[in-house]
Amino acid sequence: MDALTGSACRRYSADVIKLALYTDGVKLKKSTRHELWVLGATVLDLPLKIRSAQDNFVLIAAWYGTTKPIWSLMETFVNQELGRLILVGD
C-alpha cells in the first residue's frame, strides 16, 4: 500500500489537492558553515511512478544561512503564498 495515498489521505474530499512536503539541507562547500535548505512538494493525486519523477518535484522555498531554517517562519510564508495563489470556486 502506498503510505502517501492510503487511508489517511482518502478521508479528504476529492476537491482537495494533497501535497507531500519534503525538506533537506546540504553544505555547499566543506570550508563554510553555510547550508542550503529546500522545501519542496509533490502532488499526491498522481500515480506513484509519475509522482516520484524529478520533473514533478515543485520547489516551494529555499533557505540559505548558517543555521537551520526557522520552520515556523517558513510555514507562515508557505501558508500565506498558497492561500494567495489558490482560488476556491463553486
Q: For residue range 35-65, list pLDDT tens digits in order.
A: 999 988 888 778 888 888 888 888 888 889 9
Q: For residue range 5-32, list pLDDT tens digits in order.
A: 566 666 666 667 777 888 889 988 888 8
Identify the burial level of 38 via C-beta atoms within 10 angstroms of its C-beta, where 0-12 means exposed, 13-18 middle and 19 or more buried.
middle
Identify which of 63, 64, 56 has the alpha carbon closest to the alpha carbon of residue 39.
63
DSSP single-letter state for residue 18: P
- Reading phi first (left if > 0) and then psi (alpha if -120 to 50, else beta), residue 5 is in alpha
Beta bridge partners of 41: 21, 58
pTM of this structure = 0.64
Q: Whole-angstrom Cα distance, residue 25 to residue 38? A: 7
Q: Are 59 and 27 in contact (CB under 8 A)?
A: no
